[in-house]
């Protein structure tokens, strides 16, 4: 079962990307879908402005809500992020994020790879800075100061927005291309840098920059779904941590995207799904 998980996970990632962007006719225009579903959010990072997007991005919705905090409390997006976090946590990063799939495919390009270590562990903390400053701080400050909507992360950083929204819209609309200025050029350059880095560092954006992953990481220990280590079966051999390409210290921690691939290298069967462990405990006590 564990050996088949990588293929199954790729199928789920691809299905999620297609489901998020099911408005295929939007690419012909190109145009942005404005139907009722756009009032809802998908759990993963997927740009609202993508011609195929049928729903909103939770990170964009959070920034827009914080920009309007003078007029209404962002209860909907807070509640939705809480629901996603408690139910799935970083399972969303491992299974339901289209931009995560793009990075994983780029990592398969042959070439030298950045080994994880003290440097990458330090860099992995930077995504919390991006969350605090660009996804929360700037939108909230400007929203309280003058009600100005500035989704700073989307505007200045988000590579998924540039790839899924900016480039397709620019390619299909000459007028938009004529209006493109320095900001768009900056975002394209940043996108290229992130995509190139993903070929050398596994899921570089997720590990070092993604504020949505930073939010979901806060729920890793308490989410209903995910993996965890059975302390009684674990011998502390460290095979799972050495096998993982991310900066985890233990399967299921905040840096773990819950992909479950470490289960295949655990000789003691100590890594299990959270619900499976509960079922095992119930069976043993019956």
DSSP 273: E
Segment 76-100, tens digit of pLDDT = 999 999 999 999 999 999 999 999 9
Residue 231 has pLDDT above 70, yes or no: yes
81 neighbors 217 (Cβ within 8 angstroms): no
46 neighbors 22 (Cβ within 8 angstroms): no
The predicted structure's pLDDT at residue 71: 86
In this prediction, residue 283 has a pLDDT band, given cuts at 50, 70 and 90, of: very low
Give SS3 for 99. helix
The CA distance from 95 to 20, in Å, is 13
The predicted structure's pLDDT at residue 262: 95
The CA distance from 99 to 161, in Å, is 10
- Pseudo-torsion of CA 42, 44, 47, 52, nearest 10°? -60
Residue 284 has pLDDT above 90, yes or no: no
H-helix or E-strand spanning residue 272: strand 271-273
The predicted structure's pLDDT at residue 282: 45
- Angle at CA of residue 196, ends 8 and 257, nearest 5°: 35
DSSP 228: E
pLDDT, mean of residues 129-155: 93
What are the φ/ψ torsions at residue 229 (nearest 5 degrees)? -100, 130
254 neighbors 218 (Cβ within 8 angstroms): yes
Closest CA to 280 of 220, 223, 233: 233
What are the φ/ψ torsions at residue 272 (nearest 5 degrees)? -145, 165
In this prediction, residue 3 has a pLDDT band, given cuts at 50, 70 and 90, of: low
The CA distance from 31 to 51, in Å, is 5
Residue 170 has pLDDT above 70, yes or no: yes
């Amino acid at each position: 079962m564990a050996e088949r998980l990588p293929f199954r996970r790729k199928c789920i990632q691809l299905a999620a990307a297609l489901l998020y962007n099911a408005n295929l006719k939007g690419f012909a225009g190109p145009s942005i879908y404005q139907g009722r579903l756009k009032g809802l959010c998908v759990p993963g990072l997927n740009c609202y402005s993508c011609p195929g997007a049928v729903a909103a991005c939770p990170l964009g919705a959070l920034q827009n809500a914080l920009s309007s905090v003078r007029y209404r409390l962002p209860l909907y997006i807070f509640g939705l992020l809480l629901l996603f976090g408690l139910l799935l946590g970083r399972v969303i990063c491992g299974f339901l994020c289209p931009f995560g799939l793009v990075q994983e495919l780029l990592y398969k390009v042959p070439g030298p790879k950045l080994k994880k270590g003290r440097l990458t562990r330090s860099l992995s903390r930077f995504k919390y800075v991006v969350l605090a400053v660009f996804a929360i701080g700037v939108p909230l400050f400007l929203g309280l100061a003058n009600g100005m909507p500035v989704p700073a992360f989307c505007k200045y950083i988000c590579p998924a927005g540039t790839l899924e929204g900016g480039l397709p819209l620019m390619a299909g609309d000459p007028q938009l291309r004529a209006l493109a200025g320095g900001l768009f050029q900056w975002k394209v350059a940043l996108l290229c840098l992130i995509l190139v880095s993903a070929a050398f560092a596994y899921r570089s954006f997720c590990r070092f920059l993604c504020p949505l992953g930073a939010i979901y990481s806060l729920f890793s220990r308490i989410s209903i779904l995910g993996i965890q280590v059975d302390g009684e079966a674990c011998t502390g051999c460290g095979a799972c941590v050495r096998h993982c390409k991310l900066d985890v210290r233990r399967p299921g921690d905040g840096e773990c995207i819950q992909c479950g691939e470490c289960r295949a290298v655990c000789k003691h069967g100590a890594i299990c799904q959270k619900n499976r462990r509960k079922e095992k405990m119930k069976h043993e006590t019956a």
